[in-house]
Amino acid sequence: MRQKHILSILMAGLFTLMTAISFGQEHASGAVNTKEGVDEMIDHHLDDSHYFDFFADGEEGKHYGFALPIILIDNGLHVFSAAEFDHGNQVVERAGQHYALYQSKIYKTDAEGTLHFDEDGFPTNAKPWDFSITKNVFVIFLVALLMLLVFGGMAKTYKKQPLPRKFGRFLEPVIVFVRDDIAREMIGPKYKKYMSFLLTVFFFILFLNLLGMLPFGVNVTGNITITFALALVTFFIVQFSGNKDYWKHVFWFPDVHPIVKIILIPIEILGLFTKPFALMIRLFANMTAGHVIIMSLLGLIVIFQNWIAGPAFFGFSLFMMLIEILVAFLQAYIFTLLSALYISSAVEEHHPGSEEEEIPIV
Amino acid sequence: MSIPEMVGAGLIVIGAGIGLGLIGKGAMEGIARQPEAGNKIQTAMIIIAALLEGIAFAALFAV
């Protein structure tokens, strides 16, 4: 038993070491051992990319990975490989229009690829509509496929035997936990209708969070557009399943003075939007913060470059990695729990007759 | 980041820290008095902590 523990700690250490190595080599242009270098490194890690790089050689400017397809809509559809940009060194010409890649974004330029910058350092060039399969989109597809295989296979085994096999043995208690402790407890008797959504969103966020801890660092749930989309789904589900009581609480709050009712209308309407907004910000900020902390601690190693700071910060980042695994589960749980809570507020039945007993909350 | 922004971020973190501490204190006391209600208290604690966290993060982004 004790040996097993030592083995787990060693494995986790190896994992952090791999992340540290991929951290040091992900950077493509020049040294990382300055504050600016680390800043740029972290920004680069948090950003989406048109390349899936496993690691890169900064001194020689070589990248080991593969380019992802680029899909642009700009006077027609243009599909080509990101390899044509050669990590921003080349200008690509399609239908008489030149495109340049600058900091993972595509801009319209002239034949030389000139970019014009405003005073804050952002390019002012026009952007085409970019529907590319970027790194984040690629990982989302990967997770979707993974979930389809894992849960599809699991569903099949239930037809033959009451117990799932292999990995399903680990997942079954988690699914039962989502059903009993989240859906049934929060929503009540109508929970079955929302199980598919809650399970999907739980495992989707969980898998993305855990994949984000891999050395190649795909920071998908730390991208606000993805958490926005997830929160939007929750928003629509809550609004469309809202019953009479729910809308009555929004537009004509019961059991209070009419003047208070009118004051409460704008507050309640605002409340409809702040709930999913908070969901979006919470998941995004938590995952981003976790990644920034780990990357900063690893960055301190390359800044100090001595034998005392190295192991110390390595230990800190190992500790943060373990905390982040807990956070990965916790954030998936909280997103699902709060979604269930908002749904329950929309489908809850208020029994007639008990209204007089309720104490009005002003 | 300017100095007022840094002070603001610090104030947010202090406020959120005090809030989380009070939530934890309340939950601990509740569980100590009624251990059989531990699961329910824990769920409620996580919900309230998550709501507080959401507000704190929103404020940090505003800064």
Q: Which pLDDT value is given to residue A304?
A: 81
Helices (H) and strands (E) in chain B, counts: 2, 0
How much is the mean pLDDT over chain B? 89
Residues of chain B with C-beta less than 8 angstroms from the C-beta of A337: 43, 46-47, 50
Token match 């969070």: residue? A209
Torsion of CA A231, A233, A234, A240, to 10 degrees: 140
Q: What is the pLDDT of residue A192?
A: 86
- Check residue A117 and report its DSSP letter: B
Query: Is there a contact between B43 and A341 if contact means CB atoms under 8 Å apart?
Result: no
Specify the pLDDT at position B29.
94
Q: Reply yes or no on whether the pLDDT at B33 is more than 90.
A: yes
ipTM higher than threshold 0.95: no
| pLDDT recorded at residue A145 | 93
pLDDT, residue A23, reads: 57
Nearest CA in chain A to B56: A282
pLDDT in the model for residue A29: 47
Task: Say yes or no for a CB contact (<8 Å) between A337 and B58.
Answer: no
Domain assignments of chain A as residue spans, ordered by start: 69-132, 137-347
Q: Distance between CA A327 and CA B46 in Å, rounded?
A: 13
* Res A28: pLDDT: 44
- Closest C-alpha among A196, A218, A201 to residue A142: A218
Query: pLDDT digit of tens for each residue in chain A (362 aa)?
Result: 667 777 777 777 777 777 666 655 554 444 566 777 777 777 777 777 777 776 666 566 667 777 788 888 777 777 887 777 777 777 777 777 778 777 777 777 777 767 777 777 777 777 778 888 888 888 899 899 999 988 888 888 888 887 777 777 888 889 999 998 888 888 888 888 889 999 999 999 999 998 888 776 678 888 888 999 999 999 999 998 888 888 888 888 777 888 888 888 888 888 889 889 888 988 998 888 888 888 888 888 888 878 888 888 888 888 888 888 888 999 999 999 999 989 988 887 765 544 444 444 44
Among A residues 243-282, those touching chain B with beta carbons less than 8 Å apart: 277-279, 281-282
Distance CA A303, CA A37 (A): 9
> What residues of chain A lie within 8 A of the CB of B43, using their CB?
181, 185, 337
Q: CB B58 to CB A341 under 8 A?
A: no
Q: What is the pLDDT of residue A199?
A: 92
- Nearest chain A residue to B49, by CA: A334
B19 pLDDT band, cuts 50/70/90, is very high
C-beta of residue A48 within 8 angstroms of C-beta of residue A225? no
As a whole number of angstroms, the distance between CA B6 and CA B8 comes to 5
Q: Mention every residue, 6+ apart, whose C-beta is less than 8 A from residue A356.
A: none
Q: How far is B58 from chain A (nearest CA, A)?
A: 7
Q: How far apart are CA A197 and CA A137, in angstroms?
A: 20
Identity of the residue numbered A282 = R
The model carries a pTM of: 0.83
Q: Which of A14-28, A54-68, B23-37, B39-53 comes out lowest in average pLDDT?
A: A14-28
CA–CA distance, A252 with A248 (Å, rounded to integer): 5
* B43 contacts A278? CB cut-off 8 A: no
Residue A212 has what pLDDT?
84
Q: Determine contact, residues A254/A355, Cβ cutoff 8 Å.
A: yes
pLDDT for residue A55: 66
Q: Which of B53, B60, B63 to mutate to test the interface with A (most CBs of A within 10 A)?
A: B53
Task: Confirm or reject contact between A184 and chain B (CB < 8 A).
Answer: no
Mean pLDDT, rounded, for B24-53: 90
Residue in A with minimal Cα distance to B53? A282
pLDDT the model gives residue A170 = 84
8 Å CB contact between A188 and A344: yes
Per-residue tokens: A85? 């940009």
